[in-house]
Chain A
Amino acid sequence: MKRTRPDLREAVEQARGIGASGEASGHLVRTTCDLVLDSLEVRDGATYDTLVSPVVSSRDPLDESLLASASGRGWLVSGTVAHVPQAVGASRLLMVVRSRPFAGRERGLRVYSVDAAMSGITIVPLTSIDADRSARIEFDAVRIGDERAVGPSRDATRAVDAALDCATIVAMAEMVGAADAARIAAIRWVSERIQFGEPLASRQAVAHRVADMTLACDAVGLLIESALASAITNGGRPDPLLVATAKLAANEHLPAVTAHAHQLHGGEGYYADRPLHRWHRRVTSLAMQFGDRPTLRARAAGLLGLAPAI
């Protein structure tokens, strides 16, 4: 089976829908794996349950929380990846690891395919606020031979970086899908909920909160679209400054939208059988992945020429 090139626009549209549904899904992780494999021009049809890499959240290619040291004809991998979505019950892991500098071997990011049951790998399930089956994965001197390398044996930093930029666009689409669904649910609620003899929506304080939520979802949607357009016109390599800027905007504005939706719903919205908290959890969780605000500000500052590039 040949892997087909992931269609980014289609992935973005699916992600929006998944975000809106509020259902837990492995779509983002699968898409991210596909994008990484595609960036390495690996088209062998192998599939992975999850992507194990500290770089996904830190977006820092110099991140050393998981390190590969050369050992004989292979590598010894040690370290901990603090948060790996869809890791509970995973059997095949796609790993992005930073290698230590070593004579005769290129340093930088390397990508491996490993069996989750390998000795030295411990998967510790986490009680995440997001229903994303996340785990901490510990590697204790796990021996990985060169035969497990995925893609060409050279530094994969540039390829992985572009793939993660594309995946960031998909993640943002899921965020805005969730935030927009919460916004619409809030609009319907305040339109129907009668207090003091009139719908809540007739109060300007309520209407203006809705206006700000709408403005936020619109703004982030427009930034996602321009990042996506840059990826499509540039052969799958989006403008990194557009991506960082859009994700900063998403992180800044979308958690406020789902929080506002809770506020407008009042006590009723806090029940677990109501969908609001699922949107709120998902948006918050994705705000921490593919770059949180400090990471993205540093990244954008580098691209803007205001700080050393990372």
Chain B
Amino acid sequence: MRTPVVATPSGRLLELRLDAAQRVFRDEVRAFLAAEMREARLHCDPLDLTGCSLEFERAHQQRAGARGYLGIAVPLAQGGGGKPPSFRAIYSFEAAYHDAPSIDTAMVLCGAPILAYGSDEQQARLLPPMIRGEVLACIAYTEAGAGSDLTAIETLAVPDGDGFVLRGQKVLVTGAHKSQWCITIARTDVEARPRDAFTMFIVPLGATGVRTSRRATANGWTLSEIRFDDVSLGRDAVLGMVGRGWPQMTAALVDERSGLAWLGWATRLIERLAGWAATIPDPIRRHDVVNAVVSLHTDLVIGYRLAERVLDAQDQGHSTGADAAASKVWATELLQRIARIALEVVGVDALTWSPVMGDPVDQVALGGRLAWEYIERIHPTISVGANELQRDSIARAAFARAARP
């Protein structure tokens, strides 16, 4: 069962290109998530980014973890499923498609730096509960004065005996209020150039001197702010090497950008619009909507092809740089286009904000979801590297390629 709003009675939408093993995995995940989300409307919480209650999110992530989905791409030696990175991306696509609260898992947010830089002790302690879905965690890099330019970070970690004392404030953190710990970055050398000045830390959010607060976003759910007031950290809180925080973080950020969650949402929305188009009685209005759906479908397929290029490179262990930037720009701007066009074609019903996760039962409910969507899709073009920075990177690669004889 995919969706009760049947997209196309006689036709089909194009799909992601998957190999046989990927398709088997996709179908299994799809069945799991459809069953998981059948009763989701009973567990709504618009104050949470996932749209679902914390109890439901935890229970759902544990069920996903028990099936091995959350650590599917973690190497076998580290207790994961040992599958290529594309499997993680396929799960992400399906979770977004189904509105399931297992997109921003501890593994998705914090897995890459821990796998790459965590000590044996840290990996043995942190990875098993992440893989089993038993822990929520967050990343706290951004500061009021340091968004895209993380060299401006002012949070300080002052050496103190064998450890450090952490002092500063982090903003725009996803889900700190419900997390057990965070990964953060602080300046450990006030003299050094940025490459050598920062260090990454794993900080328990229950530690003395840590205070988290929630701040409402434009769409009703909350982001968190974290204050570190002279938090004492042992040497074992350091993630990776002292002074190597900046290159470590840059590498880890690049890792999570195949953009498959964005395309999962986009796919579901286009299917819903297509299903809705078929019910419009007025032929001129229907024609208009059908044309819009066809154009959005074309752009969706472009999104698939750009993402597949990134997944193929990741599976082969290649770096994805400008290709990942292209995929991110395309998918996030497509989501905004879908939301804008959907609002226009659905009309005033789409002005009534109603963030119901799962399948809308009628046009009013679809409209309510689209209103939420319209406000929600403001931020993906900003987060995980603003699209201006992504375009800088696409352009740099294009200039470099053209300069080669």
Contacts and interface: CB of A to CB of B under 8 A. Distances in A.
B241 to A, nearest CB: 34
Contacts of A129: none
A223 B301 CA distance: 8
B331 to A, nearest CB: 12
B389 to A, nearest CB: 11
Nearest to B273: A306
A222 B402 CA distance: 19
A304 B8 contact: yes
A51 interface: no
A218 interface: yes
Size class of the contact patch on chain A: 35 or more
Q: Of residues B12, B278, B395, B403, which shows the largest number of chain A Cβ atoms within 10 Å of its Cβ?
A: B395
Interface string A221-240: 01101100000000000000
B8 A215 contact: no
A239 to B, nearest CB: 8
Given A191-B403, A226-B305, A305-B11, A215 B294 contact: no
Contact of B298 (A214, A222, A300): A300
A167 interface: no
B295 A297 contact: yes
Given A300-B297, A301-B290, A301-B294, A207 B306 contact: no
Interface string B391-405: 110111111001100
B264 to A, nearest CB: 19
B398 A305 contact: no
A245 B297 contact: yes
Interface string B282-320: 000000001101110111011001101100000000000
Given A207-B392, A215-B394, A307-B290, A245 B298 contact: yes
A172 B17 CA distance: 21
Contacts of A208: 388, 391-392, 395
Contacts of A300: 294, 297-298
Contacts of B12: 241, 303-305
A215 B326 contact: yes
Contacts of A225: 305
A24 interface: no
A204 interface: yes
Contacts of A211: 329, 391-392, 394-395, 398
Given A215-B394, A245-B297, A306 B274 contact: yes
B290 A306 contact: yes
Given A191-B399, A191-B403, A248-B298, A214 B394 contact: yes
Contacts of A306: 8, 11, 274, 277-278, 290, 293-294
B372 interface: no
B305 A223 contact: yes
Contacts of B306: 218-219, 222
Interface string A192-214: 00000000010010011011111
A248 B295 contact: yes
Nearest to B305: A222
A252 interface: yes
Given A201-B399, A212-B391, A297 B291 contact: yes
Interface in B1-21: 7-14, 17
Interface residues of B, number: 40
Contacts of B290: 297, 301, 306-307
Given A207-B395, A211-B394, A305-B9, A223 B293 contact: no
B330 interface: yes
A210 B17 CA distance: 28
Contacts of A287: none
A50 to B, nearest CB: 30
A302 B298 contact: no
B259 to A, nearest CB: 13
Contact of B399 (A210, A219, A304): A210
Interface in A281-308: 297, 300-307
A204 B391 CA distance: 9
Nearest to B13: A304
A32 to B, nearest CB: 24
A249 B298 contact: yes
B394 A252 contact: no
Contacts of B297: 245, 300, 304
Given A184-B402, A188-B402, A215-B329, A304 B294 contact: yes
A204 B305 CA distance: 27
Given A222-B306, A245-B297, A301-B290, A215 B277 contact: no
What 4 A-B pairs are tightest by C-beta distance, nearest first? A305-B11, A305-B8, A222-B305, A207-B395
20 contacts: A184-B402, A187-B399, A187-B402, A191-B403, A207-B391, A207-B396, A208-B392, A211-B329, A213-B398, A222-B308, A226-B305, A245-B14, A248-B298, A249-B301, A297-B295, A300-B298, A301-B293, A301-B294, A304-B11, A306-B278
Given A187-B398, A219-B330, 19 more contacts: A201-B399, A207-B391, A207-B395, A207-B399, A208-B392, A211-B398, A213-B398, A219-B302, A222-B305, A223-B305, A226-B17, A226-B305, A245-B297, A245-B301, A248-B295, A249-B298, A249-B302, A297-B294, A306-B11
